[in-house]
Amino acid sequence: MTNNKNYVQGSVVYKLKEDNKVEKKTQNKPRKNKQSKKLFKFVLKVLFVSFFSFIILARFYNIIKLNAEIRNLKKEIKLVQDENDNLRVEIAKFNTLKNIDKLAVQKYGMIVPHPSDVYYVDVTPLNVAKDEENNKKINLSFIYRLLGLIQ
């Protein structure tokens, strides 16, 4: 027996090198197909995550923008309230009797009346006046009834 590496005892025959090449070629094709499917799925997942990340970031941008507008409006409200308080103080300052008297004399030429020029009028409340009118109507109606009976 020879020590030849190409020789195999028994009925087993070693395969030709060409057959190995053919099998390897057929095995590579499905691998490329599987790899391209995996790559496609990966790209889809990345796009999906990117899309939703973009949507979430856009919403946060809108929220931040609205919060900034709210802060600006609160500042404006505070300024207007401060101005309103200042105007109330000025109004209170001008509503004193001294200032009103001074303004009436200086601007409108008004003077304090002399006691002889003052006339006092007795004014009855409206509910008392209505009661008196009702009593007069009742008395007149009674008189008209009596006159109607006499004739």
Distances (CA, A) of 40 to 32, 46, 48, 125: 12, 10, 12, 95
Position 63 confidence tier, pLDDT thresholds 50, 70, 90: very high
pLDDT at 24 over 80: no
Q: How confident is the model at residue 99 (pLDDT cuts 50, 70, 90)?
A: confident
Query: Above 80 in pLDDT, residue 18?
Result: no
Identify the CA nearest to 30 among candidates 38, 21, 42. Answer: 38
pTM: 0.42
Question: Average pLDDT for residues 134-145, to the nearest whole number?
Answer: 66
